[in-house]
Amino acid sequence: MTDTSFPAGDLLKGKRGLIMGVANKNSIAWGIAQQLAAQGAELAFSYQEALEKRVRGLAESIGQDFLIPADVTNDDEMEACFKTLQARWGTIDFLVHAIAFAGKDELQGSFTHNTTRLGFQRAMDISAFSFVDAAKRASAIMPSKENGGGAMVCLTYLGSERVVPNYNVMGVAKAALEASTRYIARDLGPEGIRVNAISAGPMRTLAMAGISGGKTLMKTGKDWSMLKEDTTMEGVAGAALYLLSDLGKSCTGEVLHVDAGFHAVGVPDISEDE
Ligand code: NAD
């Protein structure tokens, strides 16, 4: 059964892909998964061990049963994950990377004073390098260009381009993720594999709860946006559908902002009487 707010169709009929990063029903990866499934895709889910029960329940609710444990910091698990995919499906057509992590202490106050060597390395490893690693492994089992190639998306945030209070080391990791997206896109372009990033506005998820002042980020994300509304899961999932299906045919190396226009605002509204 698929959530009715995600339009159904057959844009991804016959396509198979890996979703990395479902933690619960609020996860961006889960919104994207529902949209892709509603368009006919067959999905595999990789997850952090402790989350198996929850991820299994969600996957089964949309008729999917292919789950693979994979902590992105563990080379053996990553190797096994893509081997398992290849053994069952042979090839995959798309990859969704919706994974990030930084310690709570590093997501508050002064970036300069609160960022430790270990915290920096961990944020970069989990939030940026893991996409490079997953892209390398996924591209090895994607069809040739003549047979349709493939597509990948990762999730990023405006804190990579602008200073966002408390986002700190995660902003630096997202800048690395976006740059990696462009380099991967160039490497894999000749193989017919498109690689893009979605820069989503603030959304109420577990990851967001870890950022100090998340409520203010949510409120300004809406109040200062052009649309005067929160970023919706439907909007982000729709962008993923565009980028991962043939609708996104000529699009690669792109960071697509899906944030109700917030990223393009220079100065928030000024009232007439000022
Ligand atoms: P979430 O907490 O639901 O998802 C984060 C996921 O990362 C979880 O599934 C978690 O298991 C996974 N993860 C963390 N460390 C891992 C590891 N070592 N190995 C494997 N998986 C690991 O939160 P979300 O907001 O859905 O985050 C998904 C992506 O979207 C992240 O890249 C996040 O930075 C990005 N994003 C979120 C927002 C937002 O406002 N929520 C905005 C823009 C971008």
Taking CA 115 as the corner, what is the angle to CA 113 and CA 119, rounded to the nearest 5 degrees?
160
Q: How far is the CA of 95 from the centre of ligand 1 (A)?
A: 15
Q: How far is the CA of 207 from the centre of ligand 1 (A)?
A: 5
124 lines ligand 1 (CB under 6 A): no
Annotated active-site residue in 47, 167, 183, 242: 167
Q: For 100-123, what is the mean pLDDT? A: 96
- The amino acid that residue 53 corresponds to is K
Q: How many CB atoms lie within 10 A of CB 102?
A: 25
How is the beta sheet containing 94-97 ordered, strand by strand?
A: 66-69, 42-47, 16-20, 94-97, 150-156, 193-200, 255-258
pLDDT in tens, 225-266: 999 999 999 999 999 999 999 999 999 999 999 999 999 999
The ranges assigned to domains in the chain are 16-261
Return mean pLDDT, the chain: 96
CA 238 → CA 1, 34, 248, distances in Å? 18, 10, 11
Contact 252, 195 (CB under 8 A): yes
From 48, 52, 166, the mutation candidate for ligand 1 (largest count of ligand atoms within 8 A of CB) is 48
pTM higher than 0.85: yes
134 lines ligand 1 (CB under 6 A): no
pLDDT in tens, 47-78: 999 999 999 999 999 999 999 999 999 999 99
For this structure, is 167 an active site residue?
yes
Structure tokens at 192: 């017919």
CA-based torsion, 200, 204, 205, 206: positive or negative: positive
Domain 16-261 annotated CATH 3.40.50.720: yes
